[in-house]
Structure 1
Amino acid sequence: MDTKTKIALVTGGSRGIGKNTALKIAQKGLDVIITYKNSKEEADQVVNEITALGRKAAAFQLDTTSVKNFDEFIQNVSKHLQENTGSAHIDYLVNNAGTALYSPFMQTTEEQMDEMFNIHYKGVFFLSQKMLPFMNDGGGIINISSGLARFAIPGSSVYGSMKSGVETLTRYMAKELGARRIKANVVAPGAIETDFGGGRTRDDKEVNSFISNVTALGRAGLPDDIGGVVAFLCTDDAGWINGQRIEVSGGMNL
């Protein structure tokens, strides 16, 4: 990494949309730091793939539900950056890490709601807040939301509600960070074929067929449909996009 190269931090970057995003960002000429929760092996493979693209990369373990560990994580990242670039700062933060919850409104427990809140809202809020002193002016924050914040599918009341909260938060970020020229935007994928939620969209033929039937482009999404859009927001070409929600769903439930 050199001081002239911009750097993006992608949470949950070891697989699925996060992995694709990290690779697409690297293809744009940025160096990348990813986080992973459990699988160091998967994360190291992503680092190797980014390195093969000619960019620099590193992976750090982070449980984004545990705010108490954020300070130590940021210290480790900033130390790594200082030693390798001469600066402890990044340019872009992509809040991607998350888990699924498929539970009817009438059956959802307080524990399930708390878990969703911690990872999809509280974690996003405080990681962004704590990273701000280590972000360069003129950079950006991209929060990953979901089409489920716009349309309702039974079983996703908590997940969709948390993503709606993040979308509102993003507009506040854009307003309050404008003085530092830090943009804040939302990318909201539709249903994507990954191992997210146990691979439900990818592996359940009935679910996949339903999604295809309600999507204008006639299929479920793939990680490759999403990562490039996030990567675009990490470039100067997207420098005047701020406070926006970009849905990338192939026209789902229009």
Structure 2
Amino acid sequence: MINEQQKIALVTGGSRGLGKDTALRLAEKGFHVILTYHSQQEFADQVVKEIEKLGTKAFALKLDLSNTKDFDHFVIKVQGLLDTEFGAAKLDALVNNAGVGINVPFASTTEEELDAMTNIHFKGPYFLTQKLLPLLKDGSSVVNTSSGLARFSFPGYSAYGAMKAAVDSLSRYQALELGSRKIRVNSVAPGAIATDFGGGATRDNADFGKFLSSETALGRVGMPDDIGSVVAFLCSEESKWINAQRIEVSGGFKI
């Protein structure tokens, strides 16, 4: 049976990158974590082990965010974990983090590529959150992952950036309509972060990293723990009066 003082968070795409760091930061705050992975279960299992070393429970579930037809089955699995492992508790936080990047010029972006971005970054989180509403506790927190590319622009990111702008708008509508249940909804917009996202260019390309740093007020690119700690804060009671906000975490990029 779960300790009533401890909480449960679901983090999509929690097996690597920003999702992994978010899951770990939540565990440090005492959250039990259910995380999802798309295909690389071994990475997810490693994150589970790291979380358990911090003294909280963790479970990994497979989820293809682009396939909404599987959401009902996924929700049943989450419900099963809540019933069997946590005594019929509900989720205290949902972090819609999973996603993939694309860098293709506007003039040559295909309908298939745009559909993929829509399904993964907008349609998926839209309907997954909808399906999970019965499992979200009143007064819980939803954090949607946006991107700095919804504010500033780089060539090749029209599809990705536009979807993240949609996420920012969606977050405000969710905050308005879920407010009657005291559910808070915010979006976090990372700047350039040194992970393997988008092929790892920010992390591995020294010249690109130098350019990004020169455009950032704090003089460096971001690291995963620059983001995870903010998301964990928004999931906690420490941020109980923050709602319907887009919080860019970019070190002051292009200001």
**How does the TM-score come out when normalised to structure 1?**
0.98
User: Could you list the runs of 5+ residues in structure 1 that have no partner in the other structure?
Assistant: none
Deviation larger for 75-84 or 163-172: 75-84
Q: What CA deviation, in whole Å up to 9, does each residue of 1:154-204 have, x standing for no partner? A: 111110000000100000000000000000001100010101011111112
**Is residue 2 from structure 1 mapped to residue 35 from structure 2 by the alignment?**
no
CA contact (8 A) 1:216 1:251 kept: yes
**Is residue 96 from structure 1 mapped to residue 97 from structure 2 by the alignment?**
yes
* Pairs within 5 Å for 1:113-132: 113-132=114-133
Query: Aligned-residue CA RMSD in angstroms?
Result: 0.9
What residue number does 1:42 align with? 43
What residue number does 1:171 align with? 172
The alignment covers a number of residue pairs equal to 254
Local SS of the residue matching 2:232: helix
Q: Distance in 2 between matches of 1:72 and 1:235?
A: 28
What residue number does 1:225 align with? 226
User: Could you list the runs of 5+ residues in structure 2 that have no partner in the other structure?
Assistant: none
**Runs of 4+ with >6 A deviation:** none
In structure 2, what residue type is equivalent to 1:179? S
Q: Distance in 1 between matches of 2:235 and 2:89?
A: 18
The alpha carbon displacement at 1:207 in A equals: 1.8
What residue number does 2:21 align with? 20
* Pairs within 5 Å for 1:135-154: 135-154=136-155
In structure 1, what residue type is equivalent to 2:87? G
What residue number does 1:83 align with? 84
Local SS of the residue matching 2:14: coil
Deviation larger for 203-212 or 241-250: 203-212
The alpha carbon displacement at 1:205 in A equals: 2.0
Q: Distance in 1 between matches of 2:173 and 2:89?
A: 26
Q: Distance in 2 between matches of 1:170 and 1:82?
A: 29
CA contact (8 A) 1:3 1:86 kept: no
**How does the TM-score come out when normalised to structure 2?**
0.98
* Pairs within 5 Å for 1:168-207: 168-207=169-208
**Is residue 211 from structure 1 mapped to residue 240 from structure 2 by the alignment?**
no
Q: What CA deviation, in whole Å up to 9, does each residue of 1:82-112 have, x standing for no partner? A: 0111115211100000000001111111110
The alpha carbon displacement at 1:44 in A equals: 0.5
Q: Distance in 1 between matches of 2:3 and 2:134?
A: 17
